[in-house]
Every structure is written in C-alpha cells, then in structure tokens.
Amino acid sequence: MTLYETLFALTSVAMPFWLLMILLPSWRVTRLLASLAVFPLYLAVLYAVGLVTAIGDTGFGFIQDFGSAEGVIRLLSHPDFALLAWIHLLCFDLAIGHSIYRDNMEHHYVPRPVQSILLFLVLMFGPFGWLCYLAIRRIRRTKAAQDAHSQ
C-alpha cells in the first residue's frame, strides 16, 4: 500500500462526523466535536502530509499542469495525485459542511431537518450543497431584515 492509499484509507475516520452532523445535530457530542473542529483539521493534516510528500518527490513542477484541461487530466491520471486530489475534495467538503453546521446551529437560518438535507448535499455534491445553503440563508436574512424594518 502506498502512502497515498494509506492517507486515503485514513480519511474514512471522518465519515462518522458527517453522520453526527446530519443525523444527530443537537447531540452534545456532535456540538463538542464541531466546536473543536477535530475532523476538518484531521483531513487537512492528512492532505498536508500527502502534499508535502508529493512536493518532496517531484518538486513543484506538477503545478504547471494546473493551467490547462489536458494538464489536469494528465496529472490526475497518476494514481497518487488522483488520491491526493480526492483527499483535497474530502477536506474542503467537510470544511464547508462544518462551517454550515456551525453557522446554522448558531443563527437558525433553516430548520434542523433542512440543515441535514443541505449537509447531505454538501457531502455528495460539495459546491452545489454550499450554494443551496448560501441561497437559503440569503433569502432568510433578507426576509428577517424586511420584517424588522416593517415593524
């Protein structure tokens, strides 16, 4: 097993946190873990280990592939870089999900069942779930401001 395969296997530890945020958002353990940001930090550390290793092995030359679709395809055709990119996605999806969880638990923009649906969308579709949350939050904030202004 390569280092990148090991790092990928270690990412599964963060899945229970997704389940807690989605299924048990009000549980004190979920709230504690969210306040400590343990799992987003954990995935970020895994990614950093992979990134530092990749830079150590190949230097910064791989960055030149970021500038074109062909270059990105070529880079992602290498299993180690594909796994590293996947860890990157998992880390950012969890960071966004964690941010949504904390923001909504504090401000109550959407009911908890809707929050759970939005977190599931972030887990499965990343930016789409985040966009949905931002749109709903914006609508709710605007409505609250209009209601406060009309009183």
pLDDT at residue 151 tops 90: no
Per the structure block, which two tokens stand in for 144? 């609250």
Tell me the per-residue pLDDT of 59-82, one tens digit each, with 9 for 90 and over.
998 888 889 999 999 999 999 999
Consecutive H or E run containing 113: helix 112-125
- How much is the pTM? 0.92
Per the structure block, which two tokens stand in for 90? 């998992």
Tell me the per-residue pLDDT of 105-142, one tens digit each, with 9 for 90 and over.
999 999 999 999 999 999 999 999 999 999 999 999 99
pLDDT for the residue numbered 31: 97
For the chain, the domain total comes to 1
CA-CA-CA-CA dihedral for 145, 146, 147, 151, to nearest 10? 100
Q: Give me the domain span that covers residue 91.
A: 3-150
User: If 0-12 CB within 10 Å is exposed, 13-18 middle and 19+ buried, where does residue 69 land?
Assistant: exposed
Residue with tokens 């190949």: 58
Per the structure block, which two tokens stand in for 67? 């500038």
